[in-house]
Amino acid sequence: MSSYFTDLAQQYIDGEWRPGTGSWDIIDFNPYDDEKLASITIATVDEVDEAYRAAARAQKKWAETNPYARRAVFEKALRLIEEREGDIAEAIIAELGGTRLKAGFELHLAKEFLREAIQLSLRPEGKILPSPVDGKENRVYRVPVGVVGVISPFNFPFLLSIKSVAPALALGNAVVLKPHQNTPIVGGSLVAKIFEDAGLPAGLLNVVITDIAEIGDAFLEHPVPKVISFTGSDKVGRHVATVCASHFKRSVLELGGNSALVVLDDADLDYAVDAAVFSRYVHQGQVCMAANRVLVDRSVAEEFTEKFVAKVRTLKAGDPRDPETVIGPVINSSQADAISSAVEQALAEGATALVHGTRTDNLVEPSVLTDLPAGSPLLQQELFGPVALLVTFDGEEEAVRLVNDTPYGLSGAVHTANIERGVGFAKRIDTGMFHVNDGTVHDEPIVPFGGEKHSGIGRLNGDTMLDSFTTTKWISVQHGRSGFPF
């Protein structure tokens, strides 16, 4: 595993591994023990340009390649991940503080999405449509957009890079990938290495490890990419969307959330507790779909709260390399500061801490807060850390109002003994995804994934990848002679 952080601490442009030419380095740290993993000289605007130009040169031939031949690359990439799974898991644990459970979860999903990319290579279909003009044949072709820029986040970097990179490549595009500065290896150069070893032709996937302090908006504004796929915060997503729109580019935005898990009066409380604890605390709560808010009907709130708090107290925080650890470190000190500040803000507003976790460097233990005032800004925002907000409600109508009372609309869940009651509840919630009698954290390769409101624009997964990474082209053929009015 450690060789990843020495061998892959470079830029990958046009099939070549090379250092950046920037004047400073990105230092890659283990967030648990602060060990220095790698030092990477950043890419400049010139290298971003070289990466995009290389992608544009390679893409035309790739688009003309038989899709069955393209498919073979993804089959090989899947085998390589399976062969290297242990080393990749160790890299996930080291670079982003993921627990062993989380690393396994991320790798499982990454393999599932590669299996879908294998199928996606063969999915584009054309159409012949009728015309009101005699002798006219309307052909509608489904073609690659050309070059896609991908910006991936720090929380599931291996999965979320592959989730956009693999489908874009499978559909005949080339890609330039910019991983998050905190996860440059797992989210960037490791992905490039796997595809290089799988036989992907040079230039089709490029990785630039850099920072906006160096390149500004050059990654977004460059004339080559036609689509930017961004996963991250809504604040940055708004900027990405604005820049893309001003340059007539398509943006696919998978942004933050403020999901709620709702426990109705007829729920199985033991099961709901299990779902809620997982949905809030998986990967230290650093998940866009995480259940920031746990809403409980007042009639069952006392029993649910007692069981929820008891289970949270069993979650072991510590070294992510320990198989018993459930709560590892958050990604960096800024994130740890923000979480600690949020808890202190809630307490200052009058909230009660049923569990008040301590902080040691980047290791933030779980907290459970209740009695937040109705107007608390914490109920509106995304808490990217191990803090649960328990909120009671009186009846289903109030629950619907509370769930929707947020600028976000990504995921959510409801627990009830009546399935159709749950489905009816779900239909009233303004989110892109909602789950009945389950957790809030789900992602499946063929089901459309995305949010409403501030949680994003567009969808990923399955056939929605065609909408994201291809475009349509109308070619008409006039059989015989057409008539003209003059």
Tens of pLDDT, residues 332-354 = 999 999 999 999 999 999 999 99
What domains, with CATH codes, occur in the chain?
A: 2-255+455-474 (3.40.605.10), 259-436 (3.40.309.10)
The average confidence (pLDDT) of the chain is: 97
When pLDDT is cut at 50, 70 and 90, the band that residue 386 belongs to is very high
Length of the chain: 486
User: What b/e readout covers 100-132, taking b as 16+ CB neighbours within 10 angstroms?
Assistant: bbbbebbbebbbbbbebbbebbebbeeeeeeee
pLDDT at 50 over 60: yes
Minimal CA–CA distance to 174: which of 119, 104, 222?
A: 222
Of 47, 95, 288, 396, the active-site residue reads: 288
Q: How much of the chain is helix, strand and coil, in % rounded to 5?
A: 40, 20, 35
Minimal CA–CA distance to 301: which of 211, 235, 395, 381?
A: 395
Of 196, 254, 365, 396, the active-site residue reads: 254
Tens of pLDDT, residues 232-253 = 999 999 999 999 999 999 999 9
pLDDT at 2 over 70: no
288 as an active site residue: the answer is yes
Question: 101, 37 in Cβ contact below 8 A?
Answer: no
- CA 486/CA 480 separation, integer angstroms: 18
Exposure of 269 by Cβ count < 10 A (0-12 exposed, 13-18 middle, 19+ buried)?
middle
pLDDT at 132 over 60: yes
Sign (positive or negative) of CA dihedral 319, 210, 62, 127: positive
Cα-based distances in Å from 258 to 99, 147, 267: 23, 32, 22
- CA 272/CA 87 separation, integer angstroms: 35
Question: 362, 336 in Cβ contact below 8 A?
Answer: yes
Question: 473, 313 in Cβ contact below 8 A?
Answer: no
Q: What pLDDT is stored for residue 460 in this prediction?
A: 96
Q: What is the DSSP letter of 199?
A: T
Count of helix runs (H) and strand runs (E) in the chain: 16, 24
| SS3 (DSSP) at 383 | coil
pTM: 0.97
254 as an active site residue: the answer is yes
Q: What pLDDT is stored for residue 483 in this prediction?
A: 87
Tens of pLDDT, residues 175-229 = 999 999 999 999 999 999 999 999 999 999 999 999 999 999 999 999 999 999 9
Query: What value does the mean pLDDT take over residues 170-177?
Result: 98
Q: What pLDDT is stored for residue 464 in this prediction?
A: 95
- Amino acid at the residue 116: E
The pair phi, psi for residue 343, each rounded to 5°, is: -65, -45
Tens of pLDDT, residues 252-295 = 999 999 999 999 999 999 999 999 999 999 999 999 999 999 99
Tens of pLDDT, residues 411-470 = 999 999 999 999 999 999 999 999 999 999 999 999 999 999 999 999 999 999 999 999
CA dihedral 32, 37, 42, 43 (to 10 degrees): -110
